[in-house]
Amino acid sequence: MAKQLRIGMVGYGFMGRTHSNAYRRVPNFFNLEYTPVLKAVCARDAEKAKAFADQWGYESIESDWRKLVERSDIDAIDICTPNNLHKDIALAAAANGKMILCEKPLSMNVAEGEEMCEAVEKAKVLNTVWYNYRRVPAVTYAKQLIDEGKLGRIFHYRANFLQDWTISADLPQGGAALWRLDAAAAGSGVTGDLLAHCIDTAIWLNGGISTVNAMTETFVKERKHTLTGKVEKVGIDDACAFLCRFDNGSLGLFESTRYARGHKALYTFEINGEHASIKWDLHDLHRLQWFDHRTPGPLRAWSSIHVTDGDHPYMDHWWVPGLQIGYEHTFVHQVADFLEGVAKGESTGPTFRDALETQKVCDAVLNSAKEMAWKNI
């Protein structure tokens, strides 16, 4: 009989759906000691919380997260709110001895993040941050190849996260649907929303970043604010690009924007090593591009690995070779790994502490852009 991990979730938006789906699916596909149980979902709007609970099978609802984190029938708090609430909820959850699964980015800034790290470490509660792209099987496989030393010395790392959904100047900012455009709720624009993913993956695959030099731009300077009804200055970065150097001596180049016409959610990265190179992109997330210089001369080529075989990471849990899984499965994998961690009493990466490293780079990037100068991490 499986042990229960009783979940209380704060938030019911897009991320609420991806997490809820993950909790529900994991027992069907993974045989684990722990099974998630959906105890409660919390949202200020009780009606919406109720509808969400019905859709996903949560046993109860709360309209005040302070109550949720105090409930004794809950083991873990899942934070799916806008970024400006992460810290307070996390601190309260830790104070109540709850495990925490927090949406990314960890916090509004490094100072908040440090407080959060200290809180979970002091409370000794298991914690993780939903940088879900680490658990795309192709990305996990890239990590394996790197860890096996197949690339040799690394020369270059480049990553992009390109979208095009905010080009229209008629799009408002703020409110439940568009809080990501509101600096007060999101902290930053593409830097925290998109580049944070790229940075988390990069640090995981290629180690620490030591210094950055960035440029940001806000193409649409004013937008109507959903909450006030007034046209207000846009405080977020619409686009951000930065140069950097990694601790291992390799050079990095990162770019993110919501103004790249034609790209819906094109997260791509490429790593060039002495012996081999890797490329990946989210629009075909089930593929990994691989080049190995050790292949005999005339046969040397980029290959496109269809990461759907039983010997690829996580794939023995799904279907048969050739049959794709998708975006949502990354969350299932993270839940599965987190539950394994629970069984062992260990946090599963990326932990709050790991995510703080990403936060440090994000802050340095924003500072660099502001001051037009290189910034060390």
Of residues 240 through 279, those in contact with a copy of itself by CB under 8 A are: 241-243, 245, 251, 253, 255, 257, 259-266, 272-277
326 binds a copy of itself (CB under 8 A): yes
What distance in Å separates the CA atoms of residue 276 and residue 295, rounded to the nearest whole number?
10
Which one of 17-25, 64-72, 181-189, 333-341 is the stretch in contact with a copy of itself (CB under 8 A)? 17-25
What is the residue type of 334? Q
The yes or no reply on residue 377 touching a copy of itself (CB under 8 A) is no
For the CB of residue 230, give the shortest distance to a copy of itself in the complex, in Å.
25
If one asks whether residue 294 binds a copy of itself (CB under 8 A), the answer comes out as: no
List CB contacts of 180: < 8 A, sequence separation 6 or more. 186, 189, 193, 236
Distance CA 192, CA 208 (A): 18
4 is a contact residue toward a copy of itself (CB under 8 A): no
Q: Which is nearer to a copy of itself, 1 or 230 (CB)?
A: 1
Enumerate residues 98-157 that contact a copy of itself by CB under 8 A: 141, 155-156
DSSP state at residue 236 = S
Q: How far is the CB of 372 from a copy of itself (least distance, A)?
A: 5
Check residue 50 for interaction with a copy of itself (CB under 8 A): no
Choice between 91 and 202, CB closer to a copy of itself: 202
Quick check: 322 binds a copy of itself (CB under 8 A)?
yes
Backbone CA torsion sign across 139, 207, 352, 364 = negative
> CA angle, 177 as apex, 174 and 180 as ends, to 5°?
55
The least CB distance from residue 116 to a copy of itself, in Å, is: 27
Are 24 and 329 in contact by the 8 Å Cβ rule? The answer is no
Residue 303 touches a copy of itself, criterion: CB under 8 A: yes
Q: Considering beta carbons, is residue 287 or 353 the nearer one to a copy of itself?
A: 287
213 binds a copy of itself (CB under 8 A): yes
The stretch among 22-30, 83-91, 173-181, 337-345 that binds a copy of itself (CB under 8 A) is 22-30
How many binding residues for a copy of itself (CB under 8 A)? 87
Least distance in angstroms from the C-beta of 360 to a copy of itself: 20
* Shortest Å, Cβ 216 to a copy of itself: 9
88 burial (CB, 10 Å; 0-12 / 13-18 / 19+) is middle
165 lies in the site for a copy of itself, by CB under 8 A: yes
Instruction: Tell me whether residue 123 or residue 374 sits nearer to a copy of itself (CB atom).
Output: 374
Q: Which long-range contacts (CB under 8 A, 24 or more apart) does 350-353 make?
A: 350/128, 350/129, 350/131, 350/134, 350/200, 350/204, 351/127, 351/128, 351/129, 352/90, 352/100, 352/102, 352/106, 352/113, 352/116, 352/117, 352/120, 352/121, 352/127, 352/128, 352/129, 353/117, 353/121
Count of CB atoms situated within 10 Å of the CB of 33 = 12
